[in-house]
Amino acid sequence: MNFSVLQFPASNCDQDAVHAVRLLGHSARLVWHKDASLGDTDCVIVPGGFSYGDYLRCGAIARFSPVMQAVKQFADNGGLVLGICNGFQVLTEAGLLPGALIRNRDLQFHCENIFLKTATPDSPFTSQIPAGKILRVPIAHGEGCYFADEETLAKLKANNQILWQYCDANGNLTDTANPNGALQNIAGICNEKRNVAGLMPHPERACEPLLGSDDGKWIFESIFAVLKNKTVAAAA
C-alpha cells in the first residue's frame, strides 16, 4: 500500500507517520504542501504539528494549500484520509469533518499518555481493533477540545461517526479521563461516508513496544485491511 503523508511548514509528526507505516510493512512518502497532486496513493495521512505556525486558528491556513485541494478531491472519490492531531484540525477547517477543535478547557498544553475506547468497529479506521481493547496512546496538544453544535452532535451519534472516546484504564468515559474538555469525551470521529477520519491522539507514536505502547498499530492495521480488501476486489 502507498501512503501519502502531507508536509506543511511546521508539520512535525510527518516523519513519525512515515516511520510507523514503513515499520508496519507498507510504503509511505512525503507530499509537499505546494504539490497539487497526490500521485499514486491508497491513503492520505494529514500529520500532526503546527502547520503554518497555527496562525489565525489551528489548520486554518493549511486548508487553502494546493495539496489540500487534491486531498479534497481524493476524499470526494472515496479515498481514505486520516488526520492526526493538527491533521484533525486541518480536516475540520477544510470542512471534510464536522465540528471544530478549540482550546483545552484548562488552557494547558497536554503531553501525556491517555486511554482510548473505540466506539465502533464499523469504520476503515477501527475494524481491526480487538473488541473491548482499550488503546494507550499519547496526546500532545493545546487545542484539542472537540466542539460541535447540538444538531451536528446528534447527527454524529445517529450515524455512528464517533470513533474514539477518552476513557480511564478500565474503559469508563469519565470526566477526569477527558484531557481537554471535548464534548462527550470525543477523541476522534469520521465523516458520514466513513472514508475520512480524524483524531487528536497520536497512534503513529505508539506502534512499537520501544515507545511504550504499540496500541496505535491497530488503527493502521484497520486501514491496511480495508485497502487489502479493495485491492483483492479490484483484481477479482
Partner 1 sequence: MLADFSWCDTPFRMKAKIIITPKKAVLDPQGKTVQTALEHMGYTGVTGVHIGKYIEIDLAPGTDKAAAHAAINDAAHKLLSNPIIEDYKLEIE
**Residues belonging to the active site:** 85, 202, 204
Minimum Å gap between C-beta 100 and partner 1 is 5
Enumerate residues 121-180 that contact partner 1 by CB under 8 A. Answer: 145, 147-149
Residue closer to partner 1, measured from CB, 52 or 218? 52
**204 secondary structure, DSSP code:** G
Q: Tell how strand 80-84 and strand 110-118 pair up.
A: unpaired
CB distance 216 to 202 below 8 Å: yes
- Asked if residue 104 binds partner 1 (CB under 8 A), the reply is yes
Q: Which of 10, 30, 38, 102 binds partner 1 (CB under 8 A)?
A: 102
Characterise 29 by phi-psi region: left (phi > 0), alpha (psi -120 to 50), beta (else): beta
- Asked if residue 55 binds partner 1 (CB under 8 A), the reply is no
- Asked if residue 100 binds partner 1 (CB under 8 A), the reply is yes
CA distance 14 to 29: 10
Using CB under 8 A, count the residues that bind partner 1.
19
* C-alpha separations of 162 from 5, 40, 158, 229 in Å: 24, 29, 10, 24
Residues near partner 1 (CB under 8 A) are 56-57, 60, 64, 92-93, 99-100, 102-107, 145, 147-149, 181
